[in-house]
Structure 1
Amino acid sequence: MKVLVVGASGATGSQLVAQLLHHNYTVKIIVRSLDKIPQTWQDNDHLQIITASILELSNSEIENIVRDCDAIASCLGHNLTFKGIYGQPRELVTDAVKRLCNAIKSNKLERTTKFVLMNTTGNLNRDLDERISFAQKCVIGLLRLLLPPHVDNEKAADYLRTQIGQNNRAVEWVAVRPDGLINEDQVSDYEIFPSPTRSAIFNAGKVSRINVANFMTNLITNENLWKEWKGQMPVIYSSSLVN
């Protein structure tokens, strides 16, 4: 199995790459710079590093990159700086998802490619009747006005839901929604739900980045787990951190 990871130099993306390599899967990553890439990765025969900005690659270049990949995982996000939040590209995640999915479809492969998107519990799954309080609706409304990355996350998931849909022959997808992200050194027990079990704004749970990466790895490599969650937006909490 070969997996493409975008956002591989980020806090969660790097955990995902590490776990895939640990299980001896072949991995491709697209990164702007090698600055955050461990030397052990650069020396790993199972890893192909493509140094580029994904939005600056041509359509044909992206098609070539994804052609031999069985799965694609996006852990892309905006840097938590003023430029990262309010500068360009405003729709980094959405545009990357669109370009990658379009490349998969353009290749017209006989097999289906898996697409796993890291999203957020602050984004509702509009395929389900996920009800939130009026106060939370107000806060999310403000987030849409004040924080472009939140809108980007919503649009990226909505693209998979509405444009790729449930019966696409080229792409199958899962959008993983972690709650409050924290750092831990080891994978621990975690729980998966179809929808949030608590308010993402007023009573957020927590989940370690390494647990999110573990769930994404298992989605990609475990066919039964994939069948259980494909076309959905599962929410993940670390078991020891949900109370």
Structure 2
Amino acid sequence: MTILVVGATGATGRLLVEQLLSRGKSVKAVVRSPEKLPQAVRNSENLTVIQAAILDLSDAEMVELVRGCTAVASCLGHNLNFKGIYGQPRLLVTDAARRLCQAIKANEPAEPVRYVLMNTTGNRNRDIPEQHSFSEKAVTGLLRLLLPPQRDNEKAADYLRREIGQNDRSIEWVAVRPDSLIDENAVSRYEIHPSPIRSAIFDPGKTSRINVAHFMAELVTGDELWQQWQGQMPVLYNQEAE
């Protein structure tokens, strides 16, 4: 089992790589700066590092990149600075999802490849009736206009929902939606819901990055959880202390 991780040096991506390696899985990691990976990770014999910006790869290189992979996990995101938010590429997550999925299809895999997208609870799942107040819709619409990363997250999930859909022969997918991300040192108890149970705008919950990484690793390596959530957009919250 080989899993491709893109966005592998991000705050969540590096944790996902560690989770997968700890399970004894072979990992390909696409990174622009390998030195951002922890030394212990870089030294793992199960890790193959591809130094590149994902969208700079040619179509042929992309096809070769995903060949033999049983899963692709995208932890891509935009840096939270002016250049990262308003600079190019504005559709990093969407364009990467589209090109990676096209590359998977070009390989004609014998079994569907799992594509796990790290998304956000600020994005609705339009495949099911999720209830949002007028105020939430208004704020989300404003964010969509003002913040390119919001549009990017929405378009990436929409690509999986609409273009890949539920019956693709080559690709199955899950879009993971954490709420407000925080840093914790260890995996803790967390809850998984089909839809948000609180307002991402006015009453956000908390989700630790290491819990997101753990859930994504469980999805790409296990069958029971995958069968439960494939084709859906589960929402993660840290379990609150009673």
Indicate the residue corresponding to 2:191 in structure 1.
191
Deviation at 1:75, TM superposition (A): 0.3
Q: 1:94-126 CA deviation, whole Å, 9 max, x = no partner?
A: 000000000000111211100000000000000
CA distance in 2, matches of 1:95, 1:154: 12
Counterpart CA distance in 2 for 1:89 and 1:99 is 14
Letter in 2 for 1:147: L
Matches of 1:30 and 1:125 in 2, distance apart?
28
Equivalent AA in structure 1 for residue 164 of structure 2: I
Shift of 1:207: 0.8
AA aligned opposite 2:8: A
Cα distance in 2 for partners of 1:191, 1:37 equals: 28
Structure 2 portions without partners, runs of 5+: none
Q: Which amino acid aligns with 1:106?
A: A
| Offset, 1:214 | 0.5
Deviations 1:10-43 (A, max 9, x none): 0111110001011110000001112312222221
Q: Equivalent residue for 1:215?
A: 215
Measure, in 1, the Cα distance between the counterparts of 2:3 and 2:224: 18
CA distance in 2, matches of 1:193, 1:140: 21
Q: Report how many aligned residue pairs link the two structures.
A: 242
Question: Is 2:47 the partner of 1:24?
Answer: no
Name the amino acid aligned to 2:2.
K
Corresponding residue for residue 231 of structure 1: 231
Q: TM-score under structure 2 normalisation? A: 0.98
Aligned to 1:12: 12
The aligned residue for residue 62 of structure 2 is: 62
**1:16 alignment partner AA:** L
The aligned counterpart of 1:135 is 135
Distance (Å, rounded) in 2 between the aligned partners of 1:138 and 1:113: 37
Q: Which residue does 2:158 correspond to in 1?
A: 158
Unaligned runs of 5+ in 1: none
Identity %: 62
Deviating 4+ runs (over 2 angstroms): none
What is the CA-CA distance between 1:240 and the residue it aligns to?
A: 2.2
For normalisation by structure 1, the TM-score amounts to 0.98
2:3 aligned partner: 3
Q: In the alignment, residue 72 of structure 2 is paired with which amino acid?
A: I
Superposition pairs for residues 65-214 of structure 1, below 5 Å? 65-214=65-214
Whichever residue aligns with residue 21 of structure 1, its letter is: L
Which shows bigger deviation, 139-148 or 35-44? 35-44
Aligned residue type for 2:129: D
Tell me how far apart the structure 1 counterparts of residues 75 and 235 of structure 2 sit (CA, whole Å): 15
Find the residue that maps to 1:19 and give its secondary structure.
helix
